[in-house]
């Protein structure tokens, strides 16, 4: 009986670990949409991480990333784009737009204030 229980616990644990590594952290990539001729926008929901965590912006078109933070933790309160010198506090349950410079193509990482959760902006 104890053995069976151990087995069940092991299976559940393995399931949880694979979900943690392969499920939650799957790379989702979303392209910004044109709001008007001169603005592209993409929304990222902040809730236990960033969804989507990778966004694609068109080069040389002014861009805004709109963060909506649903997560109450202080961990995700800040978002940091090191390459752009951006370090902003995200108000909870509100849309917060951050302008991104798209003059340079490349991949730019962003993270929470403690560098625990990560995302990526691709400009191309």
How many residues would you count in the chain?
A: 124
Cβ closest to Cu ion, residue 24 vs residue 104: 24
| 75 scored as a contact of Cu ion (CB under 5 A) | yes
| 74 scored as a contact of Cu ion (CB under 5 A) | no
Contact region with Cu ion (CB under 5 A), list: 2-10, 32-40, 69-77, 89-97: 69-77
d(Cα 100, Cα 66) in Å, to the nearest integer? Answer: 11
User: Is the bond preceding residue 52 a cis peptide, omega within 30 degrees?
Assistant: yes
d(Cα 51, Cα 67) in Å, to the nearest integer? Answer: 10
The binding track of 85-124 with respect to Cu ion, each residue x by CB under 5 A or -, is ---------------------------x-x-x--------
Long-range contacts, 13-17 (Cβ 8 Å, 24+): none
Q: Residues in the site for Cu ion, rule: CB under 5 A? A: 75, 112, 114, 116
């Amino acid at each position: 009986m104890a053995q069976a229980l151990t087995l069940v616990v092991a299976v559940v644990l393995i399931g949880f670990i694979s979900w943690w590594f392969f499920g939650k952290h799957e790379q989702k990539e979303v392209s910004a949409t044109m709001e008007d001729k001169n603005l592209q926008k993409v929304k990222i929901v902040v809730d236990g991480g960033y969804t989507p965590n990778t966004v694609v912006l068109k080069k040389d078109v002014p861009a805004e990333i709109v963060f909506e933070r649903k997560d109450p933790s202080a961990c995700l309160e800040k978002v940091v784009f090191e390459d752009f010198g951006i370090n902003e506090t995200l108000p909870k349950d509100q849309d917060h737009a951050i302008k991104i410079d798209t003059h340079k193509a490349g991949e730019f990482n962003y993270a929470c204030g403690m560098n625990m959760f990560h995302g990526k902006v691709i400009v191309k």
